[in-house]
Structure 1
C-alpha cells in the first residue's frame, strides 16, 4: 500500500467521523452533564463499538447483512430502539445538566457501555465498512496487513474525534448555567437522538 492510498483513507474517515451523528450526540450530551470525566470512557466506548463493527464486517457479518433482509431488519430495530430510548431519557432530563435524568453521576462503565452500544448496534456501521474499506484495498498485496492498518487508523481517528467532542462540550459546560437553555439543549439533543433512531428504521441494505 502506498502512502497516498493510506492518506486518502484517513482523510475520508476523518470527514465521515466529524459529521455529527447519534454517537456524537450521545458523547456531547454526556459531556455536558458529566463534564471532562466522560471524555475517556466515551471515547473508549466509541472506539470499541467501531472495532466490533469492523471485526464483524471483516468476519462476513456485513456481507450477511447485505444478503439477509431479515437479519438486517432485526439489528436495525434493536439499534433504533436503543437510540430512541436514550433520546427519550435525555429529553426527560428537562433543565438538569445531565446526560440522564439522574441525581447520581453516571459511572465510567455505564458511559462506556452506552457509547459502545450506540456505535456497534448500528447496521449502517456494518454495511458502511463492507462498502467503504474495499475501495482502498490493493488486491495485489497481502490483505491482512492492509486491513490491520486501515482498522487501526480508523479506530485512532474515531477515538480522537469522540474525545475531542467530549472535551469541547465539557469546556462549554461551565458556560451553560441557564436551566431554560439547558432544557432546550436536552430536548433538542433528545429529539435528535429519537430522530436518528427513527431514521435508522428506514435504512436498507445496499444493493
Structure 2
C-alpha cells in the first residue's frame, strides 16, 4: 500500500479509537484507582484485545471477500453507515455514557486480572466490536492483494489502540494528581481552621480566667 493510504488508515484509526468507549473508560478508571502501576497492564490488555478482534474481523472479511465480493461490499457500506451514526451520536452527545469508576468500584486489581479484563472488554464489548467490524473491512480489498499488508494493518491498528490507551492513562494520572492536590489543600485548610478556632478558644478561656 502507498504511504497516502497508510496515512489515512493511521489517522482514521487514531480518531476512531480515541472515541470514549467502555474499554478506554476502564483504562482511565484503573489509572485513577490504582495509579501508574496499572498502566502496563491496561495498555497490554488493550493491545492484545484489539489484536484478537482485528485478526478475527480481518479473517472473516477476507474469507467473505474471496467467496462473495458483493456481500463484502454490502458489509463495507453498512460499516460506513455505522461509523456515520457513531459520529452523529458523538456530536449530539459528546460525553461518555458511563462514569469513571473509583478504586472502590474496580472489578479487579491484580495485573493479570486487569489484562484479562481489558482483553475481554475489547473483544466482547459491543461498542468495541462494532467499531472494529465497521472500520477494518474498508481496507480488506487492499490487503487481499498482498497478505503481508493484512498483518501490518492488524498490528498497526492494535499499536494505535495501545497509544490511545497510554494517552487515556496519562490524562487520568494528571486528573488524579489534581484531585489529590485539591484534597490535600482542602484538608490543610480545614486543619488550619481547626487550629485557629482552638487557639481562639484557648485565648478566650485564658482571658476569662484572668479576669
Q: How would you bin the TM-score normalised by the shorter chain?
A: 0.5 to 0.7
Counting only pairs closer than 5 Å after superposition, residues 17-28 of structure 1 correspond to structure 2 as 17-28=17-28
Counting only pairs closer than 5 Å after superposition, residues 128-143 of structure 1 correspond to structure 2 as 128-139=131-142, 142-143=145-146
CA distance in 1, matches of 2:13, 2:113: 27
User: Which residue does 1:7 correspond to in 2?
Assistant: 7
CA distance in 2, matches of 1:143, 1:123: 30
CA distance in 2, matches of 1:56, 1:158: 16
User: Which residue does 2:148 correspond to in 1?
Assistant: 145
User: Which residue does 1:122 correspond to in 2?
Assistant: 125
Change (3 A) 1:139 1:25: closer
Change (3 A) 1:62 1:2: closer
**Structure with more of its chain in helix, by fraction:** 2
User: Which residue does 1:71 correspond to in 2?
Assistant: none
1:44-103 deviations in whole A, cap 9, x for unaligned? 101111111112212328989x9xxxxxxxxxxxxxxxxxxxx7994xxxxxx416369x
TM-score normalised per structure 1: 0.62
Change (3 A) 1:130 1:43: same
Larger radius of gyration: 2
CA distance in 2, matches of 1:113, 1:33: 17
Q: Secondary structure at the match of 2:179?
A: coil
What RMSD, in angstroms, separates the aligned Cα atoms of the two structures?
Answer: 3.3
CA distance in 2, matches of 1:120, 1:140: 22
User: Which residue does 1:49 correspond to in 2?
Assistant: 49
Moved over 6 A (4+): 61-64
Q: Secondary structure at the match of 2:105?
A: coil
2:27–2:168 CA contact under 8 A, matched in 1 = yes
Q: Secondary structure at the match of 2:178?
A: coil
TM-score normalised per structure 2: 0.60
1:18–1:161 CA contact under 8 A, matched in 2 = yes
Structure 1: state its 5+ residue gaps: 67-86, 91-96, 180-207
User: Which residue does 1:167 correspond to in 2?
Assistant: 170
